[in-house]
Amino acid sequence: MSSYVYKTTRRGVLLAKTVSYQVRLCSGNFRHLEVLKDENNVAIVTMKRAPVNSLNTELLTEISSVLTDLEETKCSGMILTSFSDKVFCSGLDIYEIFKSKPSAIGTSFSTLLEVFIKLYGSTFPTVAAITGHAPAGGCVLGLFCEYRIMVQNFKIGLNEDQLGFNAPSPIVKLMINTIGHRNAELALTSGRLFTTSQALQVGLVDEIAKDRTEAFEKADGFLRRFEMIPPLARNFTKQSMRRALLQDVTINREKYTEGFVSMISLHEVQQSIAAYLDNLKNKKRNAH
């Protein structure tokens, strides 16, 4: 697995080969995350759960705990990225929702909602540097951030319908807020995965990068936009734009979790997930 080092430039971060100025966050000891901060208090959070950053409860809990830490240490911005140059995040760990106990499915989903509340509602600006594919929960993580920069020639989208279940309503709303009702309906009902350039066209991502380095330069550029904006004003505006969805998920977290568990536990849904997994394995076999 590659280990990346980030070099500080002006107020942001650039991928670099040499060790430099940044400080490693000491407050957490993470198995699946690397968290670096530059001298301007910008955090680079790199998911590194090989091979494809599938979101199991452990990784989600680590993300949640980093977000708490970043709030407490008054972080001035965050870049969320992946160790991989092929996959940003492959979504929820399918093996935690396939043939699993309802309690395990519930814990995984409820932790995802906790991440939503902290990431979508963060006081600091957030940007996803999407260095590879981002299906389902991978796209969801990107949507929780304020801005998405995606490396060319990958796929992103909410393909839940392909797995046999529907995307819960908060994420449908978030998708509508991002790409509009018509595009969201067409995309969600077919479980569509967009190529990077299609995603840009529809507004699912904000910028395209040719590679990881450019994605970081652009992420840095996004965070620098706020240098002259008083953080308090920025945050009030952000919270007012996001309040309705945040309140809904905060108040109804248990209800949404129960709904997700019931849906995933249905026999037909489990059968669809099994077929989807077979298909994934066959694709891999045929590729070799």
Ligand X SMILES: CCCCCCCC/C=C\CC(=O)SCCNC(=O)CCNC(=O)[C@H](O)C(C)(C)COP(=O)(O)OP(=O)(O)OC[C@H]1O[C@@H](n2cnc3c(N)ncnc32)[C@H](O)[C@@H]1OP(=O)(O)O
Structure tokens at 203: 């507004």
Contacts of 247 (CB under 8 A, 6+ apart): none
CB 162, CB 191: distance < 8 Å: yes
Contact call for residue 106 and ligand X (CB under 6 A): no
Query: Contact with ligand X (CB under 6 A): which of 140, 188, 200, 215?
Result: 140
Q: Please tell me the count of residues contacting ligand X according to CB under 6 A.
A: 29
Catalytically annotated residue among 91, 121, 137, 191: 137
Nearer to ligand X, 41 or 169 (CB): 169
Structure tokens at 104: 């395990």
Query: Contact with ligand X (CB under 6 A): which of 25, 70, 112, 149?
Result: 112
Nearer to ligand X, 223 or 245 (CB): 245
Query: Contact with ligand X (CB under 6 A): which of 6, 66, 80, 91?
Result: 91
Q: Which stretch binds ligand X (CB under 6 A): 21-29, 100-108, 163-171, 215-223?
A: 163-171
Cβ at position 172, least distance to ligand X in Å: 9
Q: Which stretch binds ligand X (CB under 6 A): 25-33, 38-46, 132-140, 178-186?
A: 132-140
Contacts of 286 (CB under 8 A, 6+ apart): none
Contact call for residue 135 and ligand X (CB under 6 A): yes
Catalytically annotated residue among 55, 59, 67, 92: 92
Cβ at position 78, least distance to ligand X in Å: 18
Which residues in 24-63 contact ligand X (CB under 6 A)? Answer: 51-52, 54
- Convert residues 233-262 into a mask of x (bound to ligand X by CB under 6 A) and - (unbound): ----------------x-------------
Nearer to ligand X, 12 or 170 (CB): 170
Contact call for residue 137 and ligand X (CB under 6 A): yes
Annotate the chain with three-state secondary structure.
Answer: CCCCEEEEECCEEEEECCCCCCEECCCCCCCCEEEEECCCCEEEEEECCCCCCCECHHHHHHHHHHHHHHHHCCCCEEEEEECCCCECCCCECHHHHCCCCHHHHHHHHHHHHHHHHHHHCCCCCEEEEECCEEECHHHHHHHHCCEEEEECCCEEECCHHHHCCCCCHHHHHHHHHHHCHHHHHHHHHHCCCEEHHHHHHHCCCCEEECCHHHHHHHHHHHHHCCCCCCHHHHHHHHHHHHHHHHHHHHHCHHHHHHHHHHHHHCHHHHHHHHHHHHHHHHHHHHHC
* CB half-sphere exposure, 112, CA atoms < 13 A: 28
Nearer to ligand X, 27 or 271 (CB): 271
Contact call for residue 136 and ligand X (CB under 6 A): yes
Nearer to ligand X, 36 or 129 (CB): 129
160 labelled catalytic: yes
Catalytically annotated residue among 62, 96, 146, 160: 160
List, by residue number, the catalytic residues.
Answer: 92, 137, 159-160
Residues contributing to the site for ligand X (CB under 6 A)? 51-52, 54, 86-87, 90-95, 112-113, 116, 133, 135-137, 140, 159-160, 163, 167-168, 170-171, 249, 280, 284
